[in-house]
């Protein structure tokens, strides 16, 4: 019980630190977003002077409130967060940040989440198998997959699009669903669901191809190490079937370090895969992040980083709980 209380306390403190850091980071960046926005507006306005009203609207919206101390800004920031009000985006003015994130989050979580789980399961199963058969030809899978992982993701995606979508025309080029068939946006129908699945195949494949190697390598090495443990030798001496030794004795223990890594990977799912979303025009949160940083959109940046922070913390917490459950040693020392 002490273990759980301690961990929860630890996470509460980490959460506070992370949220505070999240407040601080954008303010340490160079440049002045209000000035940038006013410049943009003036240019777009054909050089016409902006009204006092417009200027005040922009400066108060962009968080560069004049005469407000740093401390007051910090208090106001916490107040807003606790109310779930993440402010208004300037690059997508006047859309509320929470709505933008809300619309982008499900796409990212499902696509990158499924791809991450798929990549993990594939990597672990293949890794266990390769480790079990070490010294045979299947060892070649290790350099093969790490080679695939070393291909720049961007390039891999472009090649796949050029071949599968443009040349062969079997998969769609962009989007989370077919915008031509569903001009009205997402709807609850099987046709729409099918469309999203078809559209997710290519981005998911590229994510899996470029990440499976790491899991495979880690699992294989752990597997090789575990198989030299005494209890595996004992199991063999007892005459257990090889498949039982492989799954119940070796693989089960070998997977523990990979699970920890998986927890972290799951947390980063929310950060999305910025490049994936860019290449495939896939709706998601990575794109919001990059656009907000480019436009120095403080509110949106904060919102996105906050969601990512929360997700990483939550995933870590979850994995630690599971870890403590499957590995009693952690519980006692913690």
Partner 1 sequence: MATSRRKRLGMMFAAGAAALALTLTGCASNGEGGSGGSDRPLRVWSGSMTPINNNFNPFSVDTAAHFTFGPIYEPLFFFNQLSADPATGLIGDKYEYSEDGTVLTIKIKADQKWSDGTALTAKDVAFTFGYGPNKDPEMVSVEATDDTTVVLTYSVPKFTAASLILGSTWIIPEHIWKDIKDYTTETNPKPVGSGPYVLKSFSDAAYTVEANPEYRDGAPAVKTVQVIGIDSNQSSEDLLKTGKIDWVGQFIANPDAITKDGRISTLNQQQDPTTMLTCSSVELGCTGAQTDPAVRQAINVAIDRSAISDKAFAGLSGIASPSFALLPRDEKWLSSPDLAKSPQEPNITEADGILEAAGYTKGSDGFYGKDGKSFEIDLFSPDGWTDYNDAAKLISEQAAKAGIRINNRTVSEAEYWTPLANGNFQMALYGVTQSLVADPYSTYDRYFSTPATAKVGEQPVKGVNYARYSNPIVDAEVKVAAATEDEAIKKDAYAKIQTEIARDLPYIPVVLNASQAFFNTKDYTGWPSEKDLYAAPLPYLSTASAIVLTHLKPAK
Q: Which of residues 187-246 bind partner 1 (CB under 8 A)?
A: 194-195, 197-198, 201, 205
Query: Does residue 291 interact with partner 1 by CB under 8 A?
Result: yes
User: Which residues have C-beta within 8 Å of that of residue 276, sequence separation ≥ 6?
Assistant: 111, 112, 153, 157, 203, 206, 207, 282, 284, 286
Total H helices, total E strands in the chain: 16, 0
Closer CB to partner 1, 173 or 224, in the complex: 173
Q: Is 174 in the site for partner 1 (CB under 8 A)?
A: yes
- Residue in 9, 25, 32, 325 binding partner 1, rule: CB under 8 A: 32
CA atoms within 13 A on the CB side of 18: 18
Binding letters toward partner 1, positions 33-62, x by CB under 8 A: x-xx-xxxxxxxxxxxxxx-xx--xx----
* Contact string 258-287 vs partner 1 (x = CB under 8 A): -------------------xxxxx-x---x
Q: Is 124 within 8 Å of 220 (Cβ atoms)?
A: no
Q: Is 102 an interacting residue with respect to partner 1 (CB under 8 A)?
A: no
Q: Contact between 27 and partner 1 (CB under 8 A)?
A: no
Asked if 125 is part of the footprint of partner 1 (rule: CB under 8 A), the reply reads: no
**Which of 2, 28, 180, 333 is the binder for partner 1 (CB under 8 A)?**
180
- Report the C-alpha gap between 71 and 56 in whole angstroms: 22
CA distance 200 to 280: 10
- Residue 135 CB, shortest distance to partner 1, in Å, is 12
Q: Which of residues 81-100 bind partner 1 (CB under 8 A)?
A: 88, 91-95, 100
Q: How many CB atoms lie within 10 A of CB 246?
A: 21
Helices within 91-140 (DSSP H only): 97-132
192: phi then psi, degrees, rounded to nearest 5: -65, -40
Among 69, 188, 294, 333, binds partner 1 (CB under 8 A): 294
Nearer to partner 1, 265 or 301 (CB): 301
Find all residues with CB under 8 Å of 190, minimum gap 6, and list them.
none
What x/- string results for residues 129 through 158 when contact with partner 1 is judged by CB under 8 A?
--------x--xx--x-------------x
């Amino acid at each position: 019980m002490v273990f759980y209380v301690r961990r929860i306390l630890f996470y509460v403190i980490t959460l506070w630190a992370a949220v505070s850091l999240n407040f601080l980071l954008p303010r340490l960046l160079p440049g002045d977003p209000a000035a940038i926005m006013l410049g943009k507006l003036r240019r777009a306005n054909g050089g016409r002077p902006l009204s006092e009203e417009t200027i005040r609207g922009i400066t108060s919206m962009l968080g560069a409130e004049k005469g407000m101390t740093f401390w007051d800004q910090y208090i106001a920031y916490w107040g807003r967060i606790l109310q779930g009000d993440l402010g208004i985006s300037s690059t997508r003015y006047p859309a509320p940040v929470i709505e933008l994130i809300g619309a982008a989050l499900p796409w990212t979580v499902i696509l990158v989440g499924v791809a991450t789980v798929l990549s993990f399961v594939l990597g672990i199963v293949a890794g266990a198998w390769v480790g079990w058969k070490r010294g045979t030809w299947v060892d070649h899978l290790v350099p093969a997959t790490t080679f695939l992982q070393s291909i720049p993701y961007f390039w891999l995606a472009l090649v796949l699009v050029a071949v599968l979508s443009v040349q062969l025309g079997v998969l769609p080029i962009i989007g989370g669903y077919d915008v031509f068939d569903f001009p009205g946006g997402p709807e609850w129908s099987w046709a729409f669901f099918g469309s999203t699945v078809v559209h997710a195949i290519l981005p998911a494949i590229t994510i899996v191809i470029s990440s499976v190697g790491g899991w495979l390598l880690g699992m294989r090495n752990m597997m090789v190490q575990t198989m030299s443990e005494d209890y595996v030798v004992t199991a063999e001496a007892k005459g257990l079937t090889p498949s039982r030794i492989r799954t119940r004795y070796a693989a089960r223990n070998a997977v523990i370090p990979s699970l920890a890594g998986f927890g972290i990977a799951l947390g980063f799912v929310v950060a999305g895969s910025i490049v994936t979303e860019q290449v495939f025009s896939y709706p998601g949160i990575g794109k919001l992040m990059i656009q907000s940083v480019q436009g120095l959109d403080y509110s949106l940046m904060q919102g996105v980083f906050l969601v990512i922070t929360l997700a990483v913390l939550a995933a870590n917490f979850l994995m630690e709980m599971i870890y403590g459950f499957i590995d009693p040693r952690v519980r006692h020392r913690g």
